[in-house]
Structure 1
Amino acid sequence: MAKTPAQRIKKHGAKAVVPSTQAPPVINPTTKRTPAQAEGNGKLVVIAGVVASLFLFWYLHLLTLNQMTQLSDGLAMPDSLIGGFSTEYVQQLHGAMDDDARGQLSYIHKTAGTLFPLIFGFSWLLLVGTNVARKSLRWALWAAPLAFAVVRLWGNVAIDSVLAQATPDAGQVALASTLTVLGWVLFLLSLAGGVLAVFLGRRKSVEARASKA
């Protein structure tokens, strides 16, 4: 019959070997991820963000803002005018839209018009971060989507402000127009930066596989 720990200590003193009564630690093998698994999870998040950004772009620019022309006698919304707009155009658009139509545009700016630049900017930060290793280049490619989000949100407010006035201020219209043009430029630069980031990421993967071969 096996002796108890107390009996072992009584017989052998300090030299007694007492078995541990503590339960072994629980090891969850699923909590340990390899670098490849972590990279794969990061890519899934990036893909989801890119898909969401594309959907919001389609919903905002190709669907919702395009449908708004039905409430403005066919005049395009300022957000869609890549080349900007003049004071006369804003005044004409104000006259073509009633209060409900302008309220609808303001609501679009507060919903899809806010979600799109935020989700796009965040997704592009992840896209660049997961594909570009060099810190200086990564920050350079991050600049465009960050600036795009800020400019686009500011532009939403500026457009709503000038459309609310029967006689818009020329300076405010110039600001809204400049923000709109700048937003499109930054959007295109962000797309180009994303393509470059993906290219660099693929080249890095090819070089890594070649070094292991």
Structure 2
Amino acid sequence: MAKTPAQRIKKHGSKAAVPQHSLPPVINPSTSRSPQKAQSNTNLILIAGVVVSLFLFWYVHLLTLQQLTQLSGGLAMPDSLVGGFDAGYVGQLNAAMDNDARGQLNYVHKTAGTLFPLIFGFTWLLLIGTNVAKKTLRWALWALPLLFVVVRLWGNVAIDAALGSETADAGQVALASGLTVAGWVLFVLSLLAGAAAVFLRKRPAKIG
């Protein structure tokens, strides 16, 4: 019968040969993430976000809102008016659209019109965050897509409220128009911020 390590030490003292047991490593080295792999995953998310943002922009502005002009006597939807609109235009649009047409515009605002700014904003935050190293500059660039998301979603609500009134309220129309113009301006500035972030891309430090 084999002796235990304690029995061997008792019999032979410090010269006793005690077998050494090694435990298997807890961490699987194959699961470690290299910086290159992490960057690759980020790039995949960015590409997916850009593709979805482009699709939603096309779907909202170039397809759905254009189709809704068939229900408004050819008048463009307020969302498409980059230069804004006044109470007179909203009055004409309100007279040309029935409840079903206004309901369809409201549905667009609640679905694709909500998804587009959210996905675009998330994608641009990630784009800027992964490419701009300087903290103050990163936050300055982040402010543009963040403001775009807030203004765009608020603009959707304001447009629905302006069109939902029987008579065009000057205050509601001014708010909706201002938010629409601001949304387009912030959208363009966000695109420029993304381009600047790519231009200022963080480069790994050279070794040696």
TM-score (norm 1): 0.89
Counterpart of 2:171 in structure 1: which amino acid?
Answer: G
Distance 1:16 1:90, change over 3 A: farther
Q: Which residue of 2 aligns with 1:193?
A: 193
Q: How many residues align?
A: 208
Q: Which residue of 2 aligns with 1:162?
A: 162
| Post-superposition offset of 1:40 | 1.9
Pairwise mapping of residues 53-68 of structure 1 onto structure 2 (< 5 A)? Answer: 53-68=53-68
- 1:173-209 CA deviation, whole Å, 9 max, x = no partner? 00000000000000000000101111111xx44xx48
| Post-superposition offset of 1:13 | 5.5
- 1:40-97 CA deviation, whole Å, 9 max, x = no partner? 2212211211111111111111111111111111111100000001101111111111
Listed as ranges, the gaps of 5+ residues in structure 1 are none
| Post-superposition offset of 1:134 | 0.7
Listed as ranges, the gaps of 5+ residues in structure 2 are none
Instruction: Give me the whole-angstrom Cα distance separating, in 1, the residues matched to 2:107 and 2:190.
Output: 26
| Post-superposition offset of 1:11 | 2.5
- Kindly indicate whether the alpha-carbon contact (under 8 Å) linking 1:43 and 1:130 is maintained by their aligned counterparts in 2: no
Structure 1 runs of 4+ off > 2 angstroms? Answer: 1-23
Distance 1:173 1:10, change over 3 A: same
Q: Which residue of 2 aligns with 1:80?
A: 80
- Kindly indicate whether the alpha-carbon contact (under 8 Å) linking 1:145 and 1:186 is maintained by their aligned counterparts in 2: yes
Q: Which residue of 1 aligns with 2:35?
A: 35
- Kindly indicate whether the alpha-carbon contact (under 8 Å) linking 1:84 and 1:180 is maintained by their aligned counterparts in 2: yes
SS at match of 1:166: coil
- Kindly indicate whether the alpha-carbon contact (under 8 Å) linking 1:95 and 1:166 is maintained by their aligned counterparts in 2: no
Pairwise mapping of residues 47-196 of structure 1 onto structure 2 (< 5 A)? Answer: 47-196=47-196
SS at match of 1:49: helix
Counterpart of 2:189 in structure 1: which amino acid?
Answer: L
Deviation larger for 35-44 or 20-29: 20-29
Distance 1:17 1:82, change over 3 A: farther
Give me the CA root mean square deviation.
2.1
- 1:151-190 CA deviation, whole Å, 9 max, x = no partner? 0000000000010112021011000000000000000000
| Post-superposition offset of 1:108 | 0.5
Counterpart of 1:175 in structure 2: which amino acid?
Answer: L
Counterpart of 1:157 in structure 2: which amino acid?
Answer: V
- 1:117-157 CA deviation, whole Å, 9 max, x = no partner? 11111100000011111111111110110000000000000
Counterpart of 1:181 in structure 2: which amino acid?
Answer: V
Instruction: Give me the whole-angstrom Cα distance separating, in 2, the residues matched to 1:175 and 1:68.
Output: 22
% identical equivalent positions? 72
